[in-house]
Amino acid sequence: MTALLETRGVWQRFGGLVANSDVSISVGRGEIVGLIGPNGAGKSTLFNLIAGVLPPTQGSIWFDGEDVTNLPAAERCQRGVGRTFQVVKSFETMTVIDNVIVGALVRNTVMREARGKAHEVLEFTGLAARADVLASDLVPAEKRRLEVARALATEPKLLLLDEVLTGLTPTEAQTGVALVRKVRDAGITVLMVEHVMEIVMPLVDRAIVLDLGKVLVEGKPADVVRDPKVIKAYLGD
Ligand code: ADP
Ligand code: MG
């Protein structure tokens, strides 16, 4: 069976700056893959290329056996690429349930069905008791969970998580880790960007390290953390 996601020789240039340089990665169905690397390594850029927010300067993106390089973000979402977004201001003035309904409307055009799906996702993510509060009244950890909930409501095959565990207390981060496992157990493949190695390494099946826009190392988390190239990139000498 083919990988669920593949990037083939992907480049992204911003003027003279090379944010992604010949990046070829693959994510298999049912995997949790961690995308790690120092600040500015090109992780968020690669997510934007996968989600279709940006067209790559060069290279191709394959999802579920098809070349999606030229498909817009909304079409990729329809095909099952789900991602977290930062909670933007306009969403802050909406209730938690309405935020999740926005995601659910991607697949359910009947409002009653979208609302039903949103309730189901709020149960799944542990936010049911907060359904009717304004998103602006959530604590930071709950806002992160709401981003995940909205992405899940689009019923993705692949969930892209960009630093959803960063900046949380250790207890909140562990709750987040449990949620990521639950997502995978529900049959959803996960590609997650995380800066904090201690959190992400015990969680992922495979880790891919980006540095200066390139894939530096990939493999089992235990091998990756011991790799001298990775240690050097993180210590920054
Ligand atoms: P990471 O997520 O690994 O911290 P990013 O992908 O955000 O890294 O950024 C990689 C590099 O690309 C950085 O040098 C950043 O400043 C640059 N960059 C990202 N987005 C843009 C953009 N839209 N325009 C210009 N430069 C950008
Ligand atoms: Mg980033």
Q: Which of 203, 190, 114 is nearest to 153 (CA)?
A: 114
Task: Write the CA distances from 157 to 58, 63, 121, 151, 184, integer angstroms.
Answer: 25, 10, 15, 11, 10
pLDDT at 236: 66
Ligand 1 probe mutation, 11, 12, 17, most atoms within 8 A of CB: 17
156-191 b/e (C-beta count within 10 Å ≥ 16 → b): bbbbbbbbbbeebeeebbebbbebbeebbeeebbbb
Over residues 144-165, the pLDDT tens digits come to 999 999 999 999 999 999 999 9
pLDDT at 86 over 90: no
pLDDT at 87: 45
- If you measure from the C-alpha of residue 112 to the centroid of ligand 2, how many angstroms do you get, rounded to a whole number? 36
- Is the predicted ipTM greater than 0.90, yes or no? yes
Residue 152, C-beta contacts closer than 8 angstroms, at least 6 positions apart: 82, 103, 121, 124, 125, 159, 183, 188
- If you measure from the C-alpha of residue 162 to the centroid of ligand 1, how many angstroms do you get, rounded to a whole number? 14
Over residues 164-210, the pLDDT tens digits come to 998 899 999 999 999 999 999 999 999 999 877 888 999 999 999 99
Atom 18 in ligand 1: residue holding the nearest Cα:
19
Task: Write the CA distances from 203 to 32, 131, 136, 184, 214, integer angstroms.
Answer: 8, 28, 30, 11, 23
- The span from the CA of 212 to the CA of 195, in Å, is 15
Which pLDDT band, with edges at 50, 70 and 90, does 233 fall under?
A: confident
Residue with tokens 């990988």: 3
pLDDT at 46 over 60: yes
Ranges of each domain in the chain:
1-79+157-237, 81-155
Atom 25 in ligand 1: residue holding the nearest Cα:
14
- The span from the CA of 63 to the CA of 101, in Å, is 25
- If you measure from the C-alpha of residue 213 to the centroid of ligand 2, how many angstroms do you get, rounded to a whole number? 12
Maximum CA extent, the chain: 56
DSSP string, 13-36: EETTEEEEEEEEEEE-TT-EEEEE
In 41-196, the DSSP E strands lie at: 58-63, 66-67, 81-83, 158-162, 189-193
Ligand nearest to the CA of 13: 1
Atom 12 in ligand 1: residue holding the nearest Cα:
19
Does 1-79+157-237 carry CATH code 3.40.50.300? yes
